[in-house]
A and B are shown apart, each in its own frame.
Chain A
């Protein structure tokens, strides 16, 4: 009998031959070794195909319509207990009458928070700056080596096309430029000093326990240190991350300050922008333009040529403010020597905390309003704003689910991994800014840092959308599989988050949790998406 074709054998192995034909083939196989071998080989092949395909290569969906047990009531109960305990502790802490001298210790007061922030940043500044500059140098050097190696390899294989070579050259230039010694002068030591007889022509990046400038810096000074002192002259701006920053010399540009305390005793060409625990402008100090600052305590004894906008726990003014003085905060004192060239507007908690000496001069209007008692819930404007906020978030969610349906749904689902997302989110929230600073120090890393910063901020905003959608879906018990379901879930979730957000203390904690959860989910999804896919 004539042998069967391979395709016939394949049909037989797939069970697709007509019964009569199949019987004839079986009879033939009993006598023909050659065909039997073919059939056996085809069978083995089919088995391998099925086995290979049934091992799903990756990321099977984490049951996105029914979230399983990743975030069940038990977890919610633990969360609620933690929140309740946190709220009770917070309220108790607030009810204690803390002596003013110890207020910085209260982690819930604004000065306590700034103190905490600066203690942390000081740790990074003193211990971490060595790491930052060394890291930048090492990363630059390693990148250079890798690029050179890569170039040599490509040249060796003769694979360099013109465009590739151009790209390589640009990358090499960037890395070489970013290595220490170019464009930006870096100094790192326990005690970094620019002595009185020295002039630095570049922008100086200084990191150390103490950074002291007695000479002249023609560019900007970017300083990290426990103490940053400017006694000489900075022709550009001063950007300071110090525990204590003292300016007794001259800064011709502006001061951008993130310090625990900033004392200005000298001359400033432009403005002060800062987030500090205490700002003190001494009577010899002079600000050429204005002040925008958030602080626990602000004392102005020196003159400010233009306006000052201050968000602070307590503000003492005894000098001249050229234009308007705007205060949001606790206490305000204007002494007899104070002079405001424009309007005084203040939003304070208690009228009794406002002391304006009779000798004080206010050229413009005096507008002092109480913050407490001004019930925002009574204003229609408040609801209007909330509606706009909600509408914007819904719009962003809608765009997201239209443009990146898989990613948005998966991120919503990833919120359900609960503690994992939360923990990861805390790490991302805290870690990314540090990574950004490290990246920004190298020239190559700077654009990358800017882009990452944008993504980071966007993710913080999107966090509430993913968490809102997840919350809504759990409560509605919807499958969340259609866009309509997802949007409805988002609406419900966002409404709840918004309302909870207005509960004192608890709202803040919930908001923090939402951001962490959302960031964590984002990180998980980003990782999954970025992972190479075996089948694609």
Chain B
């Protein structure tokens, strides 16, 4: 994939301040950051801290842990940004790093227990497709979206993490598989089941 095009896909900076690099393209900012330019690293922080924090906040259980993880990601970025080669869009690369950080945190908490257990992509998912309306598809209002977030937050970790990496982090199945140390089919099955479980919880009448 064309690295330059990927880099050009950047979110809007959320704050305006007296930042000299504000108007600079992402590509140059990253190049400067790779040369250990503190201001450039600061600029990356400004542009992406919110998004990274969002992922950490969804993956971890408290605001404090999420802030710590976000800090860690940007501290490590000072070194790891050198390894960014432009093969995937920078935001996605950064969110992968953030995902890794959070998964490390989750693993440490479980003290070596396997957090993400493999599931078989077995019969339950081979049923022919049923065109029943999904309660998720009908979500329109802000309250309903808040309920979606709430239901995701209550999913078991096994389902929640891959689902968030896919739909918030926009990571591919392969990337998620790498992060969770699972194979791709397992990731597909986990995401599929996570969505089924979510539909069940969002269905009218279920609490």
Interface residues of A (CB under 8 A from B): 3-7, 9-11, 14-16, 34-35, 37-38, 41-42, 44-46, 48-61, 63-66, 68-69, 72, 404-407, 409-410, 479, 481-482, 528-529, 533-536
Known: A5-B129, A529-B63, A535-B57. A52 touches B68 (CB 8 A): no
Interface residues of B (CB under 8 A from A): 15-18, 42, 45-46, 49-50, 53-54, 57-58, 61-68, 70-72, 74-75, 121, 125-134, 136-137, 139, 142, 145-146, 148-150, 152-153, 163-164, 166-168, 172-173, 188-189, 191-192, 195, 199
Residues in chain B near residue A59, CB distance under 8 A: 63
Q: Are A6 and B152 in contact (CB under 8 A)?
A: no
Query: Closest 7 interchain pairs by CB?
Result: A406-B64, A44-B137, A37-B131, A38-B129, A481-B71, A52-B145, A52-B148
Q: Are B50 and A56 in contact (CB under 8 A)?
A: yes
Q: Are A406 and B63 in contact (CB under 8 A)?
A: yes
Residue ID in chain A nearest B39 by CB atoms: A66
Q: Are A536 and B153 in contact (CB under 8 A)?
A: yes
Known: A61-B49, A409-B67, A535-B58. A53 touches B149 (CB 8 A): yes
The CA-CA distance from A404 to B50 in the complex, in Å, is 21
The CA-CA distance from A410 to B130 in the complex, in Å, is 48
The CA-CA distance from A410 to B68 in the complex, in Å, is 10
Residue ID in chain A nearest B170 by CB atoms: A50
CB A261 to nearest CB in B, in angstroms, measures 51
Q: Are A16 and B168 in contact (CB under 8 A)?
A: no
Residue ID in chain B nearest A11 by CB atoms: B188
Residues in chain A near residue B54, CB distance under 8 A: 53-54, 56, 60
Q: Are A406 and B42 in contact (CB under 8 A)?
A: no
Q: Are A48 and B145 in contact (CB under 8 A)?
A: yes
The CA-CA distance from A46 to B188 in the complex, in Å, is 14
CB A100 to nearest CB in B, in angstroms, measures 53
Q: Are B195 and A50 in contact (CB under 8 A)?
A: no
The CA-CA distance from A10 to B149 in the complex, in Å, is 20
Interface-centre pick from A63, A72, A410, A534 (highest chain B CB count, 10 A): A63
Select which of B68, B128, B150, B167 is within 8 A of A535 by beta carbon.
B150
Q: Chain B interface mostly helix, strand, loop or mixed?
A: helix
Residues in chain A near residue B153, CB distance under 8 A: 534-536
Q: Are A479 and B75 in contact (CB under 8 A)?
A: yes
Residues in chain B near residue A536, CB distance under 8 A: 61-62, 153
Contact sample, A vs B, 11 pairs, CB 8 Å cutoff: A9-B129, A14-B191, A34-B131, A41-B132, A44-B136, A53-B148, A60-B49, A60-B54, A64-B71, A65-B45, A479-B74
CB A28 to nearest CB in B, in angstroms, measures 11
Residue ID in chain A nearest B173 by CB atoms: A16
Q: Are B192 and A53 in contact (CB under 8 A)?
A: no
Residues in chain A near residue B18, CB distance under 8 A: 69, 72
Select which of A4, A65, A72, A407 is within 8 A of B74 by beta carbon.
A65
Q: Are B42 and A65 in contact (CB under 8 A)?
A: yes
Residues in chain A near residue B53, CB distance under 8 A: 56, 60-61
Select which of A48, A55, A404, A528 is within 8 A of B136 by beta carbon.
A48
Residues in chain B near residue A410, CB distance under 8 A: 63-64, 67
Q: Are A4 and B129 in contact (CB under 8 A)?
A: yes
Residue ID in chain A nearest B73 by CB atoms: A481
